[in-house]
Amino acid sequence: MTTKPIYHPNIPTNTRSNAKSIRLPIGIKLIIALVAGLGFSFALAPYYLWPLALFSVMALYALLVGEDSGRRGFWIGWVYGFGTWVIGAFWLYNSIHEYGAIPSWLAYIMIGVMAIIMGLFHAFFAWGFVRFLGRQPLAFASFWVIQEWLKTWLLSGFPWLFVGYAFTEQTWMNGLAPVLGVFGISFVAVLFAASVVELFRHKVAFIGLSALTLAVSFGLSLVDWVKPSGEKLSVSLVQGNIPQDMKWLTEYRVRTLEIYEDLSKSEWGRDVVIWPEAAIPMFHDEAEPFIAGMINRARNNDSTWVTGLIYRDLKNYDENRHAYPPIYNSVAVLGETQALYKKQRLVPFGEYVPFEGLFNLLPDLANMQGAMSISRGSSNQAPFTIKGQNVGAAICYEVAYPKTTRHNAKNTDFLMTISNDAWFGSSAGPWQHLQMVQMRSLETGRYFVRATNTGVTAIINQKGQIVNQAPQFERTVLRGEVESMSGVTPFVRFGSYPILVLSALLILLSFVAKYGKSKTSRTQKYYTGKGVRD
């Protein structure tokens, strides 16, 4: 006579019998998850220790693959995400404390709260992976991509700290960028990390698949999706190095304009002279005499002047409908032609107040909010034309969004971005920002020129390589040439849709496979007589 084996309906039998994984107390797992999350940030700029990205993901996968409890998986993922964000985005402390007049202790708390909130992305990812997806590398990589994508739009988006950025300069991996974008690189990197763990669990199938994808990625790095069109422009990127705590002081405005004017004197005659974001520290209509003088200099020397400014739209202002005229964080092209690009992607709480519609319930607050907020530019703005070449623009935070940059790159010869990273001091923030611009160059196959207030000012080629770079926190001009490119990368043509669709399909297949197998196992257990007393 045999006895019926112990069975619990909430524990899938197909996973408990085969799992060769880490069996540790939950407290130890949480400590490992925290350390793994903290370590991930050092894989990114300015440290560039890219192997840490793989080790970090390997640790998280090893912790989750043997978990039977979605609740414990949730906490493991949350602690991992907290560690990732509390270090990876600590550069926000500079802007909160140094320039936001927030006490140090409160700034630390605010960073911690931000990390707790952003850690929820990893928490729900880990919960869903353990609870629903059968704990396989393909499902792990696919769900990872989805949670990164969610960060680009959910709750207005904070698309930072993606795994793919760690491999921006690794040719054996970055060949995927022009095809599948940063999410494609994240997918392959996470799949490889999970497959290594499976190898230690004596499962070799996935490591073969990972090796194949890496070989394909390296092969793609040898493909030239775009080619030079033969046109080159000389560019001068003016880095004013204006201290952030003085930039908007009324008494320092004239001095700021003098600094940029003096730095540019020897640059007129070059094709393009570019000033950084909000280089003119007042509304454009308040600086019209100065702007007119600079336009004349540019025209007299056959140069195009590009500058960041705050554009106040007085022409389209209806005082009967709005208390204040709309203002835009803008790039102005001035000289032989004139054009204006208005920033589309605004920084929450920095440039606008989220959920602004709620302010309409209280008129006084609505008026205050209207005075504080910058308006959003159209998503269908045409490229600039400079010296016969089409140029796409992005302002600061916008380069963090693959979709926005991809859209702005269509029908262009090269790209430009202006920024003011003085808010973040000597932290990792400006370098992470630069790394994103490198990835956008790879994805679009276009040169990117980047003019900033305090750095990092740089010229980046279509391969994502930094051609020339100015030192940080110096008042200087970076000179170089930008080469126009023709041709369209698959990423510009199709965007992130291929990798997102693939990930969604793999998640669906994993879900079906897990619950189909679980149902079959239970049916056999109860209806074939195995393990049942005669």
Closest among 81, 101, 83 to 35, alpha carbons compared: 83
> Can you tell me the distance from the alpha carbon of 498 to that of 182, in angstroms, rounded to the nearest whole number?
12
Query: Which entry of 29, 148, 198, 396 is annotated as an active-site residue?
Result: 396
Overall residue count recorded for the chain in this entry: 534
To the nearest 10 degrees (0 to 180), the angle between helices 137-150 and 104-132 is 140
Q: Is 277 a catalytic residue?
A: yes
Answer for the pair 439, 182: CB distance below 8 angstroms, yes or no: yes
Q: What is the 3-state secondary structure of 300-366? A: HCCCEEEEEEEEECCCCCCCCCCCCCCEEEEEEEECCCCEEEECCCCCECCCECCCHHHHHHCHHHH
Q: Is 261 a catalytic residue?
A: no
To 5 degrees, how large is the angle CA 316–CA 318–CA 322?
115
Query: Which entry of 267, 277, 398, 483 is annotated as an active-site residue?
Result: 277
Q: Is 343 a catalytic residue?
A: yes
- Exposed/middle/buried for 230, CB within 10 Å: 0-12, 13-18, 19+? exposed
Answer for the pair 121, 81: CB distance below 8 angstroms, yes or no: yes
Query: Which entry of 247, 342, 343, 514 is annotated as an active-site residue?
Result: 343
- Exposed/middle/buried for 523, CB within 10 Å: 0-12, 13-18, 19+? exposed
Query: Residue 268: beta bridge partners?
Result: 270
CB atoms < 10 A from the CB of 375, how many? 18
Helices and strands in the chain, H and E counts:
18, 13
**Residues in Cβ contact with 213 at an 8 Å cutoff, skipping those fewer than 6 apart:** 188, 191, 192
SS3 category, 450: strand
Answer for the pair 416, 274: CB distance below 8 angstroms, yes or no: yes
Catalytic residue set:
277, 343, 396
